Amino acid sequence: MNNKLFVPLVLFTQILLGQEIKKDSITQLEEVVISDKRVSNPVIGITATDIIGATTFENYSPLDIASTMNQISGVFLLSGALNTNRITIRGVGARTPFGTDKLRLYYNEIPITNGTGFSTIEAFDLENLGSIEVIKGPKGSAYGSNLGGAILLQSKTQKTDGSVLSNNFTLGSYELLKNNLDFSHRSGNIDLSLKYGHMETNGYRENSRFERDAILLNTTYSINTKNQIELLVNYIDYTAQIPSSISKDAFDEDPTQAALTWKQAQGFEANKYTLLGLTYSHAFSKNLKNATSIFYSYLDHYEPRPFNILDEFTNGFGFRTNFTGSFTIPTGETNYSFGSELYKDEYHWGTFENLYRDNNGNGSLKGDQISNNREFRRQLNVFGAITLPLTSKLLVQAGFNINKTFYDFQDIFNTAEDNKSAKRDFKPVFLPNLDVSYAFSDTQLLYANISKGFSNPSLEETLTPGGIINPDIAQETGNNYELGTNLLLANKKLQLKVALYQMDIKNLLVAQRIGEDQFIGKNAGRTKHQGLEVDANYRFKINPDLALHPFLSYTLNNHKFIDFVDGDSDYSGNPLTGVPRNKINTGIQLKHSSGLYWNTTLQHIDEIPLDDATTLYSAAFTILNTRLGYKKEIAKDFVIGVDLGVNNISNAQYAQSVLINAVGFGGAAPRYYYPGNARNYYGSFQVSYKL
């Protein structure tokens, strides 16, 4: 029996039913046809993941990856600036002071998380993405089994044969200028995409100018029906001033101001980032395939801060291989996968005095060297999974991941007894995963998951206050329990997804600040992460020319410390710091056959506890955005588009990111708040021509 469904409904149903999904099917067609055949995907799993693509991207401005990601239930992206983002999934990662860790990030199946587990999603242009897929929790055995899960970025590709040249030009508030030029070609055995992007903005706050240039090359060559080669080249060069966080009084008085010392030092970061990946795919037979990638990354980072100047570079390299296959048993087709991933990097970093106070108001000035260090970091993941159809309706998948992590820290600056060089070799950790899926019908499905995950401390977190590696620092580990359902209702126009989960984490890693630029880690106890996630999408046509699509995602976070004693303070029973209890994203999309569309979204974030004692909370806020656009083919092979958008329509004053457990230095008040932008506007003009 065949059923015509709208693409987003199809995708979610396919994922939950375990059907294999072609990457280029996401949000490209109005409707497709699927069959009742259920084929599991052992790489992703048979429990729910979330995929967003062009339909979601159209709700927001082409640089607003924070709002885009926050439309996914269970995901919270805190954005202190375009270059300062922290992603938490189901509360995991909320205690990280800066940046994103405790999850793994992939770009076209190439791992881009560094050797200590940190990821920088801001290095990638939203306009170049075709989809973002989120695996919540440690369910993705093939993607590291981290407690936070994994995020899979997929580049935008051309869907039809021929050559297309397109350009999108955007202007906006705060002197925003963004341009994205794209040449794509697809014919025969070749699929090529070359993109160049430039963006600059002065930002809402003082000392927040951002400028980025990026080149992306993605090409695939099919040698024959069994062999394929894919090349990925991504180069980014960006410079971003840093306004940093501000105190509550400063936030209330003038949210546009930068932190005083960062303003005086004219603090900034300059980054040159290169990612190279080469993937070879081979079909041994109809039932056995392999994809193997080798990759290299280079990051040159320079960051003058008020307390010192950081000068560093990182060389990262490794490989990833994955075999997928199938065989038939009496109850149906059984799928399996197995493979491994090795990532190694060499991190060289040094700090220097910042003499900005002696530089006549001209900002940072490099002084004497303070430290010189080198780190060798290595992670190996071995994974596998098998999916068994016990009946025509019941699927069971068993998977595993084995992780081995090694750190080698070399102090090149100090000698004799002052030298802090040391090694840390973590024992292998075994991470099993079990999925069960039962389809009552083609519109009703129930799934359950039990899985184990882990998180590594960063190398710096393993250091004692004296700078010596602490062998007692352990990896975080946790058990995840999840129950969910996926329903198609109202003649398959309404899709409803509900997930309940509990994750018990022990050996909680706590980053304790002991200086302006010094954090140490310790294992401080246990947390319990409980939550409810609801996603609803409704699609129908008001008339033959007008389609309506309301949507809602709701997240309830009931995360708390179970056992957390810090010195003389007992925080057991308190809510987990840095996580809002409620998060709501809702909106409506209207599309007319003439090419006119109007999208409006609302985001509500509950108050956030800012310290472990829960004596201070950030204020809850609600943000309303809207975007009106028109896209039409005005001549053969020639398409134009224009859109106008308004963000934060009500001009709310809010903190788009927060720093938990902030500490004041030199008598200054603690700086908890990263203010979000005031009401702002943007407009884009797109043109596309098929050559």
- Cα-trace Rg, the chain: 25
pTM to 2 decimal places: 0.90
Q: What is the pLDDT of residue 26?
A: 31
561: closest CA among 550, 577, 580?
Answer: 577
- The Cα 139–Cα 146 span in angstroms is 8
Q: Using CA atoms, how far apart are residues 409 and 348, in angstroms rounded to an integer?
A: 10
Q: What is the mean pLDDT of each run of 10 residues along the chain (691 residues)?
A: 33 34 33 30 58 90 93 94 93 87 93 88 90 93 93 90 96 97 94 96 96 96 96 96 96 96 96 96 96 96 95 96 95 94 95 96 95 93 95 93 93 88 90 94 92 86 66 87 93 93 88 54 83 94 94 96 85 93 96 95 97 94 97 93 97 95 84 96 96 89
C-alpha to C-alpha distances, 483 to 47, 48, 497, 498, 530, nearest whole angstrom: 9, 10, 11, 8, 12
Pairing of strands 332-354, 366-389: antiparallel
How far is Cα 474 from Cα 648, in angstroms, rounded to an integer? Answer: 43
Q: What is the pLDDT of residue 2?
A: 37
Amino acid at position 383, single letter = F
SS3 breakdown of the chain: % helix, strand, coil, rounded to 5? 10, 60, 30
3-state SS string for 589-638: EEEECCCEEEEEEEEEECCEECCCCCCCEECCEEEEEEEEEEEEEEECCE
Distance from C-alpha of 167 to C-alpha of 446, rounded to nearest angstrom = 44
Measured CA to CA, the distance from residue 549 to residue 473 in angstroms comes to 49
Give the DSSP per-residue string, 507-523.
S-EEEEEEETTEEEEEE
CA distance 239 to 222: 38
User: Torsions phi, psi of 127, nearest 5?
Assistant: -70, -20
Per-residue model confidence (pLDDT) at position 111 = 93
Residues sharing a CB contact under 8 Å with residue 131, sequence separation 6 or more, in sequence order? 23, 26, 27, 51, 52, 53, 153, 154
Cα–chain-centroid distance for residue 633?
34
> Does residue 132 come out as left (phi exceeding 0), alpha (psi in the -120 to 50 range) or beta?
beta
Q: How far is CA 454 from CA 48, 148, 313, 507, 575, in A?
A: 20, 9, 27, 10, 21
149 phi-psi bin (left φ>0, alpha ψ -120 to 50, beta other): left
Reduced to 3 states (helix: H, G, I; strand: E, B; else coil), residue 303 is strand
Cβ-contact 255, 275 below 8 angstroms: no
Predicted local distance difference test score (pLDDT) of residue 222: 95
Quick one: pLDDT at residue 25? Answer: 32
Burial zone of 389 (CB within 10 Å; 0-12 exposed, 13-18 middle, 19+ buried): buried
Compute the distance between CA of residue 592 and CA of residue 630 in angstroms, rounded to an integer: 9
Distance CA 639, CA 281 (A): 35
> How confident is the model at residue 24, as a pLDDT?
34
The 3-class SS string of 171-201 reads EECCCEEEEEEEEEEEECCEEEEEEEEEEEE
The pLDDT value recorded for residue 513 is 53
